[in-house]
Amino acid sequence: MNYPLLRTIDSPADLRRLPRTELVKLAGELRAYVLDTLSNSKVGGHLGSNLGTVELTVALHYVFNTPEDRLVWDVGHQTYPHKVLTGRREQLATIRHLGGISGFPRRDESPYDTFGTGHSSTSISAAHGMAMAAKIKGEDRRAVAIIGDGSMTAGMAFEALNNAGVPHGGLLGNMLVILNDNDMSISPPVGALNKYLARLMSGNFYSSAREGAKSVLKNTPLYEFARRFEEHTKGMVVPGTIFEEFGFNYVGPIDGHDLDALIPTLENLRAKKGPQFLHVVTKKGQGYKLAEADPVKYHAAPGKFDPAVGFVKSTTPAKTTFTQIFGEWLCDMAEQDLRLVGITPAMREGSGMVDFHKRFPTRYHDVGIAEQHAVTFAAGLACEGLKPVVAIYSTFLQRAYDQLIHDVALQNLPVVFALDRAGLVGADGATHAGNYDIAFTRCIPNMALLTPADENECRQALFTAYQHKGPVTVRYPRGAGAGVAVEKEMTALAWGKGEIRRESGKPQARSAQEAPRIAILSFGTLLYTAMQAAEQLDATVANMRFVKPLDHAMVAELARTHDAFVTLEDGCVMGGAGSAVMEAMQAAGFNLPVLQLGLPDEYIEHGDVPSLMASLGLDASGIEQSILKRFGARPSLVRPAANQ
Ligand SMILES: Cc1ncc(C[n+]2csc(CCOP(=O)(O)OP(=O)(O)O)c2C)c(N)n1
Ligand SMILES: CC(=O)[C@@H](O)[C@H](O)COP(=O)(O)O
Ligand SMILES: [Mg+2]
**Which pLDDT does position 43 carry in this prediction?**
79
Amino acid code (one letter) for 121: S
Residue 317 domain-assigned? no
Residue 148 Cα to ligand 1 middle (Å)? 8
Residue 312 domain-assigned? no
Contacts of 573 (CB under 8 A, 6+ apart): 579, 596, 597, 598, 599, 600, 601
**Which pLDDT does position 233 carry in this prediction?**
45
Three-state SS at 301:
strand
**Which CATH number characterizes residue 602's domain?**
3.40.50.920
| Residue 358, φ and ψ in degrees, nearest 5 | -65, -45
ipTM: 0.99
Residue 428 Cα to ligand 2 middle (Å)? 7
102 labeled part of a ligand binding site = no
Residue 314 domain-assigned? no
Residue 313 domain-assigned? no
* CA distances from residue 507 to 466, 518, 563, 567 in whole angstroms, order as listed: 42, 10, 10, 21
Residue that terminates a domain, selected from 416, 443, 475: 475
What gap in Å lies between CA 416 and CA 462, rounded to an integer? 8
What gap in Å lies between CA 540 and CA 499, rounded to an integer? 11
**Does 341 share its domain with 421?**
yes
* CA distances from residue 242 to 32, 205, 331 in whole angstroms, order as listed: 37, 12, 39
* Active site annotation includes 399: yes
SS (H, E, C) 170-189: CECCCEEEEEEECCCCCCCC
* CA distances from residue 170 to 130, 135, 136, 173 in whole angstroms, order as listed: 16, 10, 11, 10
**Which pLDDT does position 462 carry in this prediction?**
98
Contact 243, 161 (CB under 8 A): yes
Report the candidate in 519, 506, 505 with the shortest Cα–Cα distance to residue 558.
519
**Does 255 share its domain with 346?**
no
Amino acid code (one letter) for 166: V
| Residue 272, φ and ψ in degrees, nearest 5 | -90, 150
Report the candidate in 591, 541, 584, 535 with the shortest Cα–Cα distance to residue 563.
591
150 labeled part of a ligand binding site = yes
The neighbouring-strand residues paired with 301 are: 45
Residue that terminates a domain, selected from 475, 508, 535: 475
Share in percent of the chain as helix, strand, coil (round to 5):
45, 15, 40
Q: Does any ligand 1 atom lie closer than 6 A to the CB of residue 135? A: no
**Which pLDDT does position 208 carry in this prediction?**
45
Residue 192 domain-assigned? yes
| Residue 42, φ and ψ in degrees, nearest 5 | -90, -15
What gap in Å lies between CA 525 and CA 580, rounded to an integer? 18
For residue 104, which atom of ligand 2 is closest to its CA?
A: 1
Report DSSP state, residue 482: S
The parent domain of residue 508 ranges over: 499-643
- How do beta strands 448-450 and 416-420 pair? unpaired
**Does 217 share its domain with 259?**
yes
**Does 84 share its domain with 134?**
yes
Residue that terminates a domain, selected from 475, 509, 534: 475
**Which CATH number characterizes residue 470's domain?**
3.40.50.970
Lay out the sheet containing 276-281: strands in order across.
70-73, 143-148, 175-181, 276-281, 249-255
- The closest ligand to the CA of 371 turns out to be 1
What gap in Å lies between CA 422 and CA 620, rounded to an integer? 20
**Does 279 share its domain with 402?**
no
120 labeled part of a ligand binding site = yes
What gap in Å lies between CA 261 and CA 254, rounded to an integer? 7
**Does 91 share its domain with 11?**
yes
**Does 18 share its domain with 160?**
yes
In DSSP notation, 237-267 reads B-TTSHHHHTT-EEEEEEETT-HHHHHHHHH
Residue 180 Cα to ligand 1 middle (Å)? 12
Cα of 362 vs its chain's centroid, Å: 26
Q: From the CB of residue 141, how many other CB atoms can be counted at a distance below 10 Å?
A: 17
Contact 151, 179 (CB under 8 A): no
**Does 330 share its domain with 280?**
no
Contacts of 24 (CB under 8 A, 6+ apart): 259
Please tell me which residue in 83, 283, 284, 545 is annotated as part of the active site: 284
Give, for 530, the enclosing helix (H) or strand (E): helix 527-537
Residue 487 domain-assigned? no
Contact 527, 453 (CB under 8 A): yes
Q: Does any ligand 1 atom lie closer than 6 A to the CB of residue 151? A: yes
Residue 200 Cα to ligand 1 middle (Å)? 21
**Which pLDDT does position 581 carry in this prediction?**
98
288 labeled part of a ligand binding site = yes
Please tell me which residue in 328, 371, 455, 569 is annotated as part of the active site: 371
Query: Averaged in consecutive runs of 10 residues, what is the pLDDT profile of the chain (644 residues)?
Result: 95 98 98 94 90 98 98 98 98 96 98 98 98 97 98 97 94 96 95 92 56 43 44 47 95 96 98 97 96 93 83 83 98 98 98 98 98 98 98 98 98 98 98 98 98 98 98 98 96 98 73 77 98 94 98 98 97 98 97 97 97 98 96 49 40
**Does 364 share its domain with 413?**
yes
Q: Does any ligand 2 atom lie closer than 6 A to the CB of residue 428? A: yes
* Active site annotation includes 195: no
Give, for 598, the enclosing helix (H) or strand (E): strand 594-599
Residue 103 domain-assigned? yes
Report the candidate in 297, 321, 327 with the shortest Cα–Cα distance to residue 187.
297
Report the candidate in 266, 265, 187 with the shortest Cα–Cα distance to residue 229.
265
Q: Is the C-alpha dihedral spanning 627, 629, 630, 632 positive or negative?
A: positive
pTM, 2 dp:
0.93
Residue 301 domain-assigned? no
Contact 360, 392 (CB under 8 A): no
* CA nearest ligand 2 atom 8, residue: 350
Helix 54-63 × helix 23-40 angle, to 10°: 130
What gap in Å lies between CA 597 and CA 184, rounded to an integer? 41
Number of domains in the chain: 3
* Active site annotation includes 7: no
**Does 160 share its domain with 22?**
yes
The neighbouring-strand residues paired with 237 are: 251
**Does 113 share its domain with 218?**
yes
**Does 465 share its domain with 505?**
no
